[in-house]
């Protein structure tokens, strides 16, 4: 048998309110709450919270979320010309490489060759990809569509 104290009375009252079996009877809980104003107040607050949560309704799930979101998005930017799109990232890579060279040449260390390696790799990746690697794919679909 559970000892009758404030914590066990409140736990038993919550269990009974949720429809579970409690170690304490309803009469024992009522007897305790008549003599303990703190427990009475806490149980009333818990019952108020429970009734508030029970009154809440879930919004129905929208079947196709993307179409409603897509309608709210602003129109995309105008497409770039193919020539600009083809040479933009290689040009950017060359400009970064030139900047790094100008920045490192005054030191005249041989180590600057190793510092250029990441820049060369990025420029090579841009040339290989020939498109914006950060472009957002608007054709994404949710699972089950």
Q: Is the pTM of this model over 0.85?
A: no
Residue 114 has pLDDT above 60, yes or no: yes
Residues ≥6 apart with Cβ < 8 Å to 111: none
Q: What is the per-residue pLDDT for 126?
A: 72
* Rounded Cα–Cα distance for residues 64 and 70 (Å): 11
Average pLDDT of the chain to the nearest whole number? 76
Check residues 39 and 135 and name the one with the higher pLDDT: 39
CB atoms within 10 A of CB 125: 12
Residues 122/93, Cβ–Cβ less than 8 Å: yes
Q: DSSP H helical segments within the chain, as ranges?
A: 6-17, 26-35, 37-55, 65-72, 82-104, 112-129
* Rounded Cα–Cα distance for residues 23 and 103 (Å): 78
- Residue 80: pLDDT band (50, 70, 90) is low
The model's pLDDT over 40-51, given as tens digits with 9 standing for 90+, comes to: 898 889 889 888
């Amino acid at each position: 048998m559970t000892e009758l104290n404030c914590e066990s009375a409140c736990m038993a009252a919550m269990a009974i309110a949720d429809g579970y079996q409690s170690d304490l009877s309803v009469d024992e809980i009522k007897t305790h709450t008549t003599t303990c104003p703190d427990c009475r107040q806490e149980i009333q607050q818990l019952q108020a919270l429970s009734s508030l949560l029970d009154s809440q309704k879930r919004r129905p799930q929208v079947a196709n979320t993307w179409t409603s979101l897509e309608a709210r998005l602003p129109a995309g930017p105008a497409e770039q010309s193919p020539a600009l799109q083809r040479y933009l990232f290689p040009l950017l890579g060359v400009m970064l490489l030139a900047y790094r060279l100008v920045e490192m040449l005054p030191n005249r260390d041989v180590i600057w060759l190793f510092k250029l390696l990441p820049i060369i790799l990025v420029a090579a990746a841009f040339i290989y990809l020939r498109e914006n690697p950060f472009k957002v794919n608007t054709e994404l679909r949710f699972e089950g569509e």
